């Protein structure tokens, strides 16, 4: 009996500690923004929106090299290389910072990113959200001539 209790205790000790990574409760009256509102805020705060591919992955917390293939907004040009730190993909998980820094994107990863020029971050926007951005007129389709 005693051995099985110790065994159960060891097994439980090896499980991840949820309380340590749990988010604090939201303040009273907080209303979670809709996915559309989150996207609108994310795009509205971006100085640059580009499509490209990760050419060289950085170590965790280190910048990666991202080659720009298409520019939707901003001063970058096709072919420019951007040094950008890993980011949480959009939409960023609630309390993302509680679980440590985001993992680096592997070389060959591609997609649309939106960021402020002063702090480029590899946070890929979901394809459905890119389509919403085009429909709303926030960016123009790369296929449009």
In a domain, 143, yes or no: no
In a domain, 92, yes or no: yes
pLDDT in tens, 61-91: 789 999 999 999 999 999 999 999 888 888 7
Q: Which residues contact 13 (CB under 8 A, 6 or more apart)?
A: none
126 pLDDT band (50/70/90 cuts)? Answer: very high
CATH code of the domain containing 76: 2.40.50
> In this model, does residue 5 exceed pLDDT 80?
no
> In this model, does residue 96 exceed pLDDT 80?
no
Does the pTM of the predicted model rise above 0.85?
Answer: no
In a domain, 11, yes or no: no
Mean pLDDT of 98-104: 75
Q: What percent of the chain has pLDDT over 90?
A: 46
| Domains in the chain, number | 1
> Looking at per-residue confidence, does 96 or 118 come out higher?
118
In a domain, 58, yes or no: yes
- Domain with 94, as residue range(s), is 34-135
In a domain, 79, yes or no: yes
In a domain, 60, yes or no: yes
> 37-41: which pairs have CB atoms within 8 A and are 24 or more residues apart?
38/90, 38/91, 39/90, 39/91, 39/129, 39/132, 39/133, 40/136
In a domain, 112, yes or no: yes
pLDDT in tens, 21-36: 567 777 888 888 888 9
Mean pLDDT of 98-108: 82
């Amino acid at each position: 009996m005693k051995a099985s209790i110790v065994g159960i205790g060891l097994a439980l000790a090896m499980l991840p500690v949820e309380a340590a990574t749990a988010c604090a409760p939201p303040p009273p009256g907080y209303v979670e923004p809709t996915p559309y509102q989150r996207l609108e805020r994310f795009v509205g705060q971006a100085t640059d929106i580009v499509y490209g591919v990760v050419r060289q992955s950085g170590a965790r917390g280190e910048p990666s090299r991202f080659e720009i293939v298409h520019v939707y907004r901003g001063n970058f040009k096709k072919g420019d290389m951007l040094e950008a730190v890993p980011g949480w993909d959009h939409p960023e998980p609630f309390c993302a910072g509680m679980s440590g820094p985001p993992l680096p994107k592997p070389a060959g990863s591609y997609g649309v990113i939106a960021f402020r020029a002063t702090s480029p971050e590899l946070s890929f926007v979901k394809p459905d959200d890119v389509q919403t951005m085009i429909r709303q007129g926030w960016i123009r389709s790369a296929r449009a001539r």
